[in-house]
């Protein structure tokens, strides 16, 4: 597996993000054309509306299918990082850290975690700034 770092850690699945989205968008456009045609001809309106509603349902599904697991993943990361911080310091992670800061801190190794968490609070670092500040990137190879 390729070494993970700030530049390549984002997850991109071409089959999902390009192919599936492209198919759904093409179906949506075709359903709109079909609906307009059915409306102009005065026949097939029910089927046109049904195809259009199916296309809209697919668009909503596409985004929800991705967002629901991300919410769960974020909660798991918060719990994991809280446990890791507790194991290192004997204290829970500072509740003033935002979720995006905590998610960024997961890539910091144990020896950088505490100082980087403190710095993130003091300097109000963004998740991107936190990731860029990590010297020895701790890769996450357990994601789907």
Across the chain, what does the average pLDDT equal?
91
More confident residue, 140 or 27: 27
Q: How confident is the model at residue 144 (pLDDT cuts 50, 70, 90)?
A: low
* DSSP 8-state symbol, 50: H
In the chain, the number of structural domains is: 1
pTM to 2 decimal places: 0.69
Q: Is the pLDDT of residue 9 over 70?
A: no
**Closest C-alpha among 108, 114, 97 to residue 130:** 108
Residue 41 lies in a domain: yes
Residue 89 lies in a domain: yes
CA angle 98, 102, 108 (to 5 degrees): 150
Range of the domain at 95: 14-133
Residue 27 lies in a domain: yes
Task: Render the burial of 45-55: b for 16+ CB within 10 Å, e for the rest.
Answer: eeebeebbeeb
**pLDDT tens for residues 11-60?**
677 898 899 999 999 999 999 999 999 999 989 999 999 999 999 999 99
Q: Is the pLDDT of residue 8 over 70?
A: no
Residue 103 lies in a domain: yes
Residue 71 lies in a domain: yes
**What are the structure tokens assigned to 101, written together?**
């800061």
Residue 9 lies in a domain: no
């Amino acid at each position: 597996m390729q070494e993970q770092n700030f530049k390549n850690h984002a997850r991109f699945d071409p089959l999902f993000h390009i192919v599936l989205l492209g198919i759904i968008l093409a179906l949506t456009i075709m359903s709109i054309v079909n609906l307009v045609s059915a409306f102009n001809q005065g026949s097939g309106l029910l089927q046109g509306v049904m195809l259009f509603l199916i296309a809209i349902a697919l668009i909503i599904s596409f985004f929800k299918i991705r967002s629901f697991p991300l919410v769960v993943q974020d909660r798991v990361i918060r719990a994991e990082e809280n446990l890791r911080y507790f194991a290192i310091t004997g204290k829970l992670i500072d509740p003033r850290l935002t979720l995006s800061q905590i998610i960024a801190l997961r890539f910091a190794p144990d020896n950088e975690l505490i100082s980087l968490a403190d710095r993130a609070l003091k300097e109000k670092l963004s998740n991107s700034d936190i990731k860029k500040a990590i010297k020895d990137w701790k890769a996450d190879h357990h994601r789907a």
